[in-house]
Structure 1
Amino acid sequence: MTQAFTHCALHVRDLDESIAFYRLYCGLEIVEEHGEGDGRAVWLASPGAAQSFVLVLLGGGPERTQDKDDMTHYGFGVSTREDIDRIAAHAKKEGRLHWAPRDYAPPTGYLCGVRDPTGYIVEFSYGQPLGPHGRG
């Protein structure tokens, strides 16, 4: 038997605000949408990756709080260190920056953390051996 990691589902406080965040910060696009009201669900994916992995957002979730030392997160790889600095500057301006840009030993690389509208932490990294920009 072979398993495949296909999606991550998150309950979010405000579905439309979260969709806007993931479009702006992560470049995700809606690939599926179903349901109405509190039962509405949206599938988001990186362009061309809808058959591989989706982020499922479900409305009606609670606000989340995470301590700065709590490394619970999910991540997106970017193509340059400058992308990290740009994302962090934008997040700081919006009051969303959770971890300032910092270098970590391999394989972690250069990263920052951003709070989404619900309080989930999204890591943006450069230099990890994962994804299309991997340095493996």
Structure 2
Amino acid sequence: MADAPGFPPTLRSPIDMDSGITHVALVVRDVEASIAFYTRFAGMRVIHQREAQGDIEEVVWMTDFTRPFALVLIASTKLHDTPVGPFGHLGVACASRAEVDRAADAARELGILRSPPKDSGPPTGYWTYLADPDGNTLELSHGQEIAFTVKDAQRL
């Protein structure tokens, strides 16, 4: 297999091995509510789920299949963690401004809209903030230039 453009020659492609950032883990109280939230608003699916022991009842890995990255949900009623946010957040790129608007409208109806859609121009783009069931913030955006910025930085 040829080396993937933009990746060091030691890596054959971005999905051949774990390298770099691989996951973010969140402690959640109601794993089913969190799965439903991240499925609906981040387009993720469960790829691994198992019962655990001790203070952790269950572990769930979710992904959107766009890169080798997982959101890990740690179900626990005993562990207490601070939420990510209200400004700190997980960011998910959407295919269009309309998709951001639809998600914001749905979040508003559910009472979980943290910030209505706003156009901040390049490189930030059009974005909105939602609250997940545990108070973590999810940003949905369109037009952020992260991929372009990363590619440009690799050329330096």
TM-based fold match above 0.5: yes
Q: Secondary structure at the match of 1:82?
A: helix
1:125 aligns with 2:141: yes
The structure whose RCO (Cα within 8 Å, separation 6+) is larger is: 1
SS in 2 for 1:105: coil
The alpha-carbon deviation at position 113 of structure 1 amounts to 0.4
Pairs within 5 Å for 1:31-110 = 31-36=47-52, 38-47=56-65, 49=67, 52-60=68-76, 62=80, 70-110=86-126
The Cα shift of 1:13 comes to 1.7
Q: Would the alpha carbon gap of residues 11 and 65 (structure 1) be closer, same or farther in structure 2, given more than 3 Å must change?
A: closer
Q: Identical aligned pairs, as a percentage?
A: 33
* Higher mean displacement: 56-65 or 10-19: 56-65
Q: Distance in 1 between matches of 2:83 and 2:47?
A: 29
Letter aligned with residue 23 of structure 1: T
Q: Within 1, Cα distance between the matches of 2:45 and 2:84?
A: 26
- Are the structure 2 counterparts of residues 66 and 53 from structure 1 closer, same or farther at C-alpha, using a change threshold of 3 Å? closer
Uncovered stretches (5+) of structure 1, i.e. residues with no partner:
none
State how far apart, in whole Å, the 2-side matches of 1:39 and 1:129 are: 38
2:36 pairs with one of 4, 13, 20 = 20
Between the aligned partners of 1:127 and 1:119, the Cα distance in structure 2 is 25
Indicate the structure (1 or 2) with the bigger Cα radius of gyration: 2
Deviation at 1:27, TM superposition (A): 1.1
Equivalences, count: 128
Q: How far did residue 66 of structure 1 move?
A: 7.6
Which one-letter code corresponds to 1:120 in the other structure?
Answer: N
Question: Over residues 9-51 of structure 1, what are the superposed CA-to-partner deviations in whole Å (9 max), with x where a residue is unaligned?
Answer: 00012111101111111110111112247331000000364xx
The runs of 5 or more residues in structure 2 that have no matched partner are 1-10, 12-18
State the superposition RMSD in angstroms: 2.5
Give TM-score, length-normalised by structure 1: 0.83
Q: Secondary structure at the match of 2:146?
A: coil
**How big is the shift at 1:115?**
0.2
| Secondary structure of 2:103's aligned partner | helix
